[in-house]
Amino acid sequence: MSNFEKLIEIKNLHVSVAETEILKGINLSIGEGEVHAIMGPNGSGKSTLANVIAGRPGYSVTSGDIVYKGDSILKVAPEIRARAGIFLAFQYPVELPGVRTWQFLKAAIDAIRKGNGQEELKIRDFDKLLEEKRQLMEMDPDLVRRSVNEGFSGGEKKRNEILQLALLDPSLALLDETDSGLDIDALRIVSHGVNIFKSPEKSILIVTHYQRILDYITPDYVHVLVDGKIVRSGDSSLAMELEEKGYDWVKDGAGEEVHP
Amino acid sequence: MQETSLILNKYEEDFDSISSNNPKWSSDLRNKAMDTFREIGFPVRRKGNEKWKYTNARPIASVEYSSAKFEKIDSDDIKLIAPWHESWINLLFVNGHYQETFSDNLSTNIQISNMASDDLAVNLTSNVGGIMDYSDDGFAALNTAFMSDGPIITVPEGENSGIVINLIFYNQGLSDTVNYPRVLITTGGNSTVNVIENYVGGSGDQTFTNSVSEIYVGEDATVNHYRLMNETDDTYDVGYGRVRIDTNGTFNSRSFFRGCGIGRYDLNVSIEGENASCDLQGLYFTNGAQHMDNFINIDHVRPNCQSNLFYKGILAGRSRAVFGGTVLVRKEAQKTDSIQSDKNLILSPHAEVDSKPALFIYADDVKCAHGATAGNIDADTVFYMRSRGIDLEAASRLIIYGFAGEIIDTVEIPELRSYLAESFLNSLPSHRFEF
């Protein structure tokens, strides 16, 4: 059993980017084994939330706290957060010219293992693991030999993110609009990868604009983020309701004007 | 200018003393080149001197160099500082003079002669000086006036054994000396040859390497040419590559520069036959107070040809790099397909690159593109890697190695590729991108 109540607790989190407040007091707790979805219109701050948890530079936390596995991580470097089991699947995965995918993945796995007092993975074991996960994500074998994300299609990039999720096996997966720009086949493959990862020890935070991905990955909780605040929380039926009624419906609940 | 003329007197004395020893077949050429050198001197003018706009030749012109003499050295020492392999034909030149070939009984149809010989057949020597136009270039004139030793590589028609000829020009680093390597490669129809030119050595003393290579790519022939430069900070290096490509010919060039005080490589490729192509790629790494200038011209004379020019630079310390890439597409060169780019990774706020890709197009049906980038790594790239557990140092190393690796990976000789992957990458500084 873990010696913390919740895997991650976000307490009254206020975040600004260049003087503009984006998150205006977020409270959210995710327990082990739980799947949460954050939904919201464009510009509501949902991607900011995922990125701040992962430690992306450029955001300033003006008040509040993020407690992960019992400790505040606000001052912790992103690579240390990653080694402690936080993983962010990027909305826009970055291209790394000249850095081979397999080489990048090996460096990442070894960094995380070494951070946890384990030895580097033997090449042969790594190859086996990579091949297994590659097949899971139905990725072209040629892609792992190529430079990271360079010349990958949008769908291949997102699959590569979930391949990394599967390989690095974190405690908390933050999926930042992983579904955006995916066709139905890629969405199915990506969701399959996430569902394989899902277990009683793993927690997932899905950030999405659309309800579509939630047809494949069923959330335990759905939160609606509008203008930097969670305006409504509920179970998966909330996502359905949003799909039907649109975001204006919850904006009303947040005290916003309703457009007829 | 008094100072300069004193220096020229030094070359004059030197010219008189070496002329008597040099072969007769080259004496006309050498005398004419010396006349030109006397007339034009070094390109030290700072105004209206476009070719040398970003590189100051004055430090080179102001040292009284004398011709470096041959001294036999232990070839085992060379094996530690230059790439070589037992399956290659390895030719060692010390201070510009031939010493030996260290390879085991390799049989080849390729004829390799030495320019120092007196009794060379006319068909071997007639191409010497055939492409290197020194009329407005003091350094090229100087090399031509002083050339004494160097390989004449003649590849017969249909020769396709894939053998590698590895030329090692070792500069012993004798104080205030200059060495003049000279290379001629002539390829017959439908042949292939791989040539590596290495410019290595130097010491803590002031030296100068002044080289010229002339390469004729025959009909349907392929020349894979590699140029490695790795000298000391006290060495100045001004080198020339002159290439002429015939119909259906292919010239592939890979250049790797790792330092010398002031370095310049002037590569000029003239595509004179139809359906011919050239692929010129290079990687330069400058550190400290080094200065490296790549001055490259591609001349599309005939239609239906392709050229690719792709150079990458890594700059550290207070170093300077210059990339001058010019592609000329003449009126007759319709359907030319040309692309050029220069990318630089700048690791220090004190390092600087002048990158000037240029295109001159006189034909109307062509596909041409050019571009240049210079910069640090963006924050997203580093965050992406850190979010996977990789720390700043390791991320920076992966990025820099990856940047350099893109050119190294295109080397088709496996032994050379692994040599470069080791030696070039290991010479790169440990660096930490800060964000």
Task: Evaluate whether residue A161 is within a structural domain.
Answer: yes
User: Are B388 and A168 in contact (CB < 8 Å)?
Assistant: yes
Q: Alpha-carbon distance A200 to A32, whole Å?
A: 6
For a pLDDT cut of 90, what percent of chain B falls above it? 82
Which structure tokens are listed for A74? 């606000």
Task: Evaluate whether residue A125 is within a structural domain.
Answer: yes
Which residues make Cβ contacts (< 8 Å) with residue A149, sequence separation at least 6?
A: A93, A94, A95, A96, A101, A156, A157, A160
Return the SS3 of B162. coil
Residue-level pLDDT at B107: 81
Read off the pLDDT band of A251 (50, 70, 90). confident
How confident is the model over B294-320, as a mean pLDDT? 97
Residue-level pLDDT at B48: 84
How confident is the model over B388-404, as a mean pLDDT? 92
Residue-level pLDDT at B4: 57
Residue-level pLDDT at B1: 42
Which residues make Cβ contacts (< 8 Å) with residue A245, sequence separation at least 6?
A: none
Which of A160-169, B201-210, B269-278 shows the lowest per-residue confidence on average (mean pLDDT)?
B201-210
> pLDDT of A4-35, one tens digit each?
889 999 999 999 999 999 999 999 999 999 99
CB distance from B410 to chain A under 8 Å? no
Read off the pLDDT band of B269 (50, 70, 90). very high
Number of separate domains in chain A: 1
B253-265 per-residue burial string, b: 16 or more CB within 10 A, e: under 16: bbbbbbbbbbbbb
CATH of the domain at A175: 3.40.50.300
Residue-level pLDDT at B19: 81
Task: Evaluate whether residue A258 is within a structural domain.
Answer: no
What is the overall mean pLDDT for chain B?
93
Name residue B206's amino acid: Q
> pLDDT of B201-234, one tens digit each?
988 899 999 999 999 999 999 999 999 999 999 9
Chosen for mutation from B310, B380, B384 (greatest number of chain A CBs closer than 10 Å) is B384
Task: Evaluate whether residue A142 is within a structural domain.
Answer: yes
Read off the pLDDT band of A253 (50, 70, 90). low
Structural domain boundaries, residue A23 = 8-253
User: Residue ranges of the alpha helices (H) in chain A?
Assistant: 46-54, 78-83, 101-115, 123-136, 141-145, 154-168, 184-197, 237-245, 247-253
Q: Delimit the domains of chain B by residue range.
A: 2-273, 380-435
Q: Alpha-carbon distance B241 to B229, whole Å?
A: 13
For a pLDDT cut of 70, what percent of chain B falls above it? 97
Which residues in B lie closer than 8 A to residue A166 (C-beta atoms)? Answer: none
User: Are A83 and B435 in contact (CB < 8 Å)?
Assistant: no
> pLDDT of B3-54, one tens digit each?
455 578 889 999 998 887 888 999 999 999 999 999 999 999 888 889 999 9
Q: How far is CA B174 from CA B54, B81, B199, B209, B412, in A?
A: 28, 17, 15, 12, 35
Distance from CA of A110 to the nearest CA of B (A): 9
Q: In which residue are the tokens 């919201």 written? A: A40
Find, among B260, B218, B206, the residue nearest to B243 by Cα. B218
Task: Out of A78, A96, A103, name the one closest to residue B386 (CB).
Answer: A78
Q: Alpha-carbon distance B397 to B390, whole Å?
A: 10
Q: Is the pLDDT of residue A256 over 60?
A: no
Q: In which residue are the tokens 């975001």 written? A: A247
Which residues in B lie closer than 8 A to residue A57 (C-beta atoms)? Answer: 379, 383, 435
- Interface predicted TM-score (ipTM) of this complex, two decimals: 0.95
Q: Alpha-carbon distance B103 to B105, whole Å?
A: 6
User: Are B386 and A55 in contact (CB < 8 Å)?
Assistant: yes
